[in-house]
Every structure is written in C-alpha cells, then in structure tokens.
Amino acid sequence: MHIPEELIPIAGMLMVLGIVAIVFLSKARAKELQFHQDLRVREMEHQLKMKQLEVELEKARATKSS
C-alpha cells in the first residue's frame, strides 16, 4: 500500500493535534470533577453548620421559655 507523500506531514500534524486534544479534555474533566467534589464538601459543611445553629436556637428557646 502506498501513502501519498503529501499526506504524511498532514497526518503527523493531525496526530499531534489529536493527542493534545485528548490531554486537554482529560485535564479539563479532572478539574471539573475536583470542582464538584469541593462543592459537595462545602455543601455538607454548610448543612452541618445549619444543624448546629438549629440546635443552638432550640436551646435558646428552651432557656427563654423556662
């Protein structure tokens, strides 16, 4: 099988572009997953803080009504 010589440099450039695109998308996906994980951790911390504040509020109401 004979590959025309004009296609060899084009194929090489396309291969490099393909590799760069794969690496870029992989890094972007990793950053996105890290962002979602951080967001979930902050949300859980917020929920914990809200529960603590709710407990403190109930304690304050209990002492106020006594």
pLDDT at residue 66 is higher than 80: no
43: which DSSP letter?
H
pLDDT of residue 19: 98
pLDDT, position 1? 76
Q: Specify the residue for token string 């109930």.
A: 58
> 32 by DSSP, 3-state: which?
helix
Question: What are the pLDDT digits (tens) for 13-62?
Answer: 999 999 999 999 999 999 999 999 999 999 999 999 999 999 999 999 99
State the burial class of residue 49 (Cβ atoms within 10 Å of its Cβ: 0-12, 13-18, 19+).
exposed
Q: What is the pLDDT of residue 2?
A: 82
pLDDT of residue 3: 80
State pTM to two decimals.
0.66
Rounded Cα distance, 53 and 55, in Å: 5
Q: Which two tokens stand for residue 31?
A: 């950053």
